[in-house]
Amino acid sequence: MRSQSVPVGGATPKGLGESQSVPVGGATPKGLGESPGIPIKSTQSALIIPGMSYCLNTNCENPQNPPGAKYCESCGTTLLLGDRYRAIKQIGQGGFGRTFLAVDEYKPSKPYCVIKQFFPQDASFPKAKPLFQQEAVLQESLGKHPQIPDLLAHFEQDDRLYLVQEFIDGQNLGEELIKNGCFSEAQIWALLNDLLPVLQFIHEGHLIHRDIKPENIIRRQADSKLFLVDFGASKTTNSSVAKTGTMIGTLGYVAPEQLEGNAVFASDLYSLGLTCVHLMTGIHPFRLLTVGINTWRNHLSNPISSQLSRVIHKLLLPDTLHRYQSAAEVQLETNYFTSLHPAAIGSPLALPIPSANNSALIVSKIGAADYRSISQAIKNAQQGSRILVRPGFYQESLVIDKPLEIVGDGSVADIIVESKGSSCIRMQTGYAVVRGLTLRHRAGNFTSLFDKSSYAVDIPQGQLILENCDINSAVATGIKIHGASADPRIRGCRIHNGKGCGVLVSKNGRGTLEGCDIFGNNFEVQITEGGNPILRRCQIHNGKGFGVWIDENSKGTVEDCDIFGNIEVGVYIGDGSNGIIQRCRINRNEGHAVCVSVNGTGTVENCDLTGNIVGAWNIATGGLLYYQGNKE
C-alpha cells in the first residue's frame, strides 16, 4: 500500500503505491524483485460517485455498477467483499495485483478503506503468493502502532486473496516533493524525528521493512503525522518464510547487503538515508549511483548543517558494522544534535562534516598512527570525530568530554583498555559511541576492593552507545548508570566476573541493555534509588547473588531475558519498587524465580519459571504480584 487521499468533489485519490519521484535523465527505475505488496502503476481517473460499486472479478468487462448494487450487472459477481467491504474504484495495478479504494459498509459512517487483491500477472505466482499472505501475518503479529495503517481483514473469496487495510487521508512524500520542491533541513529533521520511532517499533517486533522510500511514507492531512505503509516486502528475523538470498525492494534505495539478499535492520536505515537524500536533492538515488552516493552533498538545493550531514553520512555507510545499528541510536543522536544547538540547525557550523572516505583518527601502539594513546586522541579530536583504536594494550583512563566515536579496529580481545584506581571510561558529555573494546578495571596502589569511587564504565550523564565490549571490574562495579540525565544504550556487551555488580543503575538513572551477557558478578543487575532501566534479550546468569535486584523505590522492565544459575533469587522486587517481567526464562536459580518483598509490586507475564530449587514464587505479606500465562 502506498499513498492515499480521500476523493473530494470527484477528484481521483492519489496512487496507492504509485511511485512518484524526480528522476534525472530518464524514468524512475522499477523495483528489484517486485513487492507482493502490489507496486502500483497509476490508472486513468474517472469520476467517483459516492456509493458506487466496482466489481472485483478480474474478467469482468464492465466493472462499474450503480450505488448500492448487490451483484455486478455485467457478470453477476457479488459486489460486497466479505459481505462488508464495497470497492468503489480501482486506483492501481501492478505485477502482483490490483488496489481499490473501498468503503466499510458495516460502520454507520461508511469509512474509506483500501482493498489489495492478489492477482499475479506472470510466472512469479508460486513465490509471490506466500509473500502476499505473509504481509498480513507479519503485520498482525507486529501489533498496532499509531503510525502504521491497521490491518482490517485478510481472507480468500472467489479464489482470490485479499487484504483490507486502514485508509490514510494524505499524500506520500514523493508527491510532496513534486508539488512543493526539495525539502528543507527543518523538514528532514522533522521526518527523522517522526519516523525513527516507527522503525524502532517494527525492528523490535523482529521485522525488516525492506522498502523504505518516499512513496511508502504518507503524511496524514489532518495532523501532518507520518505513516509508514506497504509491508509487502517485509521480512521477519524470526522465521525462514523470507529466506536469505531473496532480493526485494526498490532499486536505488536498497542497501548493498540487501542487494545480496542479506537484509538486516540497518538496511532500513540505509534506505531511510537515501530517502532523505532524494527529498533534499530531488534526484532519484539510482541516478546518484553512476557518480557515487557520497557525492550527494554536491546536489543539495539548499545548504545543510554539519549535524544533519553527519547523520545522513552515517546512515549511508556501506559497511553495516560502521552504520547506525538501530533506529534508536539514530534518534539519540538526532535528539542530541537538535537539543545541543537548536538555533544552529540550518547553519554549517556546529560539528565537522565527515569526509566521503570516512577518515578517522588512528590510535596504535606501533606502526603508522595519529596518536599512541586514546586519551591524546580524545583531547585533540574535534566534536563528532571518529577514533579508530588498533590492537594493543592501553593502560589509561578515558574521559569522554565531547561527542565522538571510539571504535575498536580489530578483535575485541586484542584491544585492551586497562585502568588502575579510576574508571576505564567516564562519560562527561551528552552523546558518544564506544564499540569493540575490552575494558579492564583494576585496583590502584591505594584502592581497596569494593571501592565506590570508580567503575569500569561510569555513566553519570548523557547518552552513551556502548556496543560489543568486554567489561570486567576486579574492584567494584562493571557499569554504573547514575543520575537523571544518564540514559545509555548498551548492546551486545559481556559484563562479567566483577567484584561488585555487573550493572548498577541508581539515582534515577535510566538506560536500555540489549543482548548483553552478564555473568559471574556478585550481583548481576542492581536497580536502586529510583533507577528505571530496560533489560531486553539479555543473559543474566551464574552470579554469586541475585540475578536482578530492584529496590529502594525503583522500577525495571525485563523482557525476553534468560536468568539462570544464580546463587540467590532470579528476580527480587523490594520495598516501594515495581518490576515488569515479560517472556523471560527464569530457571535453575538456587532461590525462587521471583521474590516480591513488603510493599513491592510485580507483573510477571508469559515467563518460564520452572526448575528453581525453592520454587517459582515468594510473595511477602504486603507484596503484590500480577501474573498470567506463566509456566511454573
Active site residues: 211
Strands (DSSP E) found in 348-412: 361-363, 386-389, 392-395, 398-400, 405-408
Residue 18's alpha-carbon distances to 4, 98, 128, 175, 181, in angstroms, are 10, 12, 19, 9, 18
> Is 116 annotated as a binding-site member?
yes
Separation CA 117–CA 92 (nearest Å): 10
Three-state secondary structure string covering 437-466:
CEEEEECCCCCCCCCCCCCCEEECCEEEEE
φ, ψ at 264 (rounded to 5°): -130, 175
Three-class SS of residue 199? helix
φ, ψ at 443 (rounded to 5°): -70, 140
Phi-psi region of 26 (alpha: psi -120 to 50; beta: other; left: phi over 0): left
C-alpha cell at 316: 549511508
C-alpha cell at 502: 555487573
The total number of residues shown for the chain amounts to 632
Three-class SS of residue 293? helix
Give which of 213, 272, 200 is closest to 534, Cα–Cα.
Answer: 200
φ, ψ at 198 (rounded to 5°): -70, -45
Separation CA 137–CA 509 (nearest Å): 38
* Most distant pair of Cα atoms in the chain: their distance: 94
C-alpha cell at 475: 574492584
Separation CA 205–CA 203 (nearest Å): 5
C-alpha cell at 390: 588498533
Separation CA 522–CA 388 (nearest Å): 33
C-alpha cell at 95: 505485477
Separation CA 73–CA 64 (nearest Å): 9
Tell me which amino acid residue 355 is. S
Looking up cell 557515487, which residue turns up? Answer: 292
* Vertex 273 angle, CA 270 and 278, to 5°: 125
**What is the layout of strands, in order, in the sheet containing 489-491?**
361-363, 386-389, 405-408, 431-435, 463-467, 489-491, 512-514, 534-536, 555-559, 578-582, 601-605, 624-628
Task: Tell me which H or E stretch contains 458.
Answer: strand 457-459
Give which of 421, 431, 416, 515 is closest to 476, Cα–Cα.
Answer: 421
Composition of the chain by helix, strand, coil, percent to 5: 20, 30, 50
Separation CA 626–CA 21 (nearest Å): 52
Long-range Cβ contacts of 74-78 (<8 Å, 24+ apart):
77/158, 78/158
The one-character DSSP state at 209 is -
Which residues define the annotated binding site?
A: 116
Residues annotated within the binding site for ATP are 116
